[in-house]
Amino acid sequence: MTIVLAAGLFALAAITQIWVAADPVIHVLVQFPLLGLSGYLLGRDRFIPGHWVGPALTLAIFFFLFWMLPRSVDEALANWQMHVVKFITLPLGTGLPLALSWKYLPPVLKGFLKAQCITMFGVLGFLYTHAPVRICNSYLVDDQIRLGYGFFYVACGLSIFWTIPVFTGRQTQVRRALQGTHLS
């Protein structure tokens, strides 16, 4: 079932290929996440030996950073080899190893990575809205700014999405745990 869903997301990402040349928002904020998510689903219910957790996470972070470089985004449009690289490394180099390692990570490291992620999108948002030059040769300046706002929205969305459990779910768990200690 998960595999079907992953394949579905991958297919959806392949369909968005029609619009990626014209719109950086579709490219970076729709297609990239779809590809990453399809890989993530593949790894969600799989388990790896402990000594592979570190390397898997490292790999995921580096591929993530690579695809955040404006140069990579441009080159994925300019030559077909990078197209292929994109469709392989975003699911299998980023999503999959992230899913494989995530469930083993200590909560502090998870929190740290989430905070880093939000900050990075904030910085990217600032960069793309304020850059005095065109960052990607393949996209118009207006679209570059639109992508910048997109990054801002993602940063806001993620911070809300990741903070809500602090006020609801998690706290309930903690309360339950505390009540448990009182009762016993």
Partner 1 sequence: MRKGLFLTMAAVLFGSAGLAWSTDGLRVFTAEGARRMEIAREQPQVPGMVLQTMSGDLEKLGNQPDKVTLIEFIYTTCPTICQSSGGEFAHLRDLLVEKDLPVRMMSVSFDPVADTLEALADYGALHEADGQYWTVARPQLPDLTEMLDFFRVTVIPDNWGGYQHNIAVLLINPEGRFSGVFNTDAYKEITEAVERASR
List residues binding partner 1 (CB under 8 A): 50-56, 58-59, 61-63, 65-66, 69-72, 74-75, 78, 133-142
Q: For residue 175, give both structure tokens.
A: 């309360």
Q: Whole-angstrom Cα distance, residue 154 to residue 68?
A: 14
Q: How far is the CB of 1 from partner 1 (least distance, A)?
A: 31
Q: How far is the CB of 175 from partner 1 (least distance, A)?
A: 35
Contact between residue 20 and residue 77 where contact means Cβ atoms under 8 Å apart: yes
Contact between residue 17 and residue 31 where contact means Cβ atoms under 8 Å apart: yes
Q: Whole-angstrom Cα distance, residue 88 to residue 35?
A: 9
Q: How far is the CB of 114 from partner 1 (least distance, A)?
A: 20
Q: How far is the CB of 69 from partner 1 (least distance, A)?
A: 6
- Residue number with CB closer to partner 1 (31 or 138): 138
Q: Angle at the Cα of 36 (from 30 to 40), degrees rounded to 5?
A: 135
- Residue number with CB closer to partner 1 (58 or 179): 58
Q: Whole-angstrom Cα distance, residue 71 to residue 94?
A: 18
- The DSSP secondary structure of 48-89, one letter per residue, reads --GGGHHHHHHHHHHHHHHHHSHHHHHHHHH-HHHHHHHHHH
- Residue number with CB closer to partner 1 (10 or 23): 23
Q: How far is the CB of 71 from partner 1 (least distance, A)?
A: 5
- Residue number with CB closer to partner 1 (66 or 126): 66
- Residue number with CB closer to partner 1 (30 or 53): 53
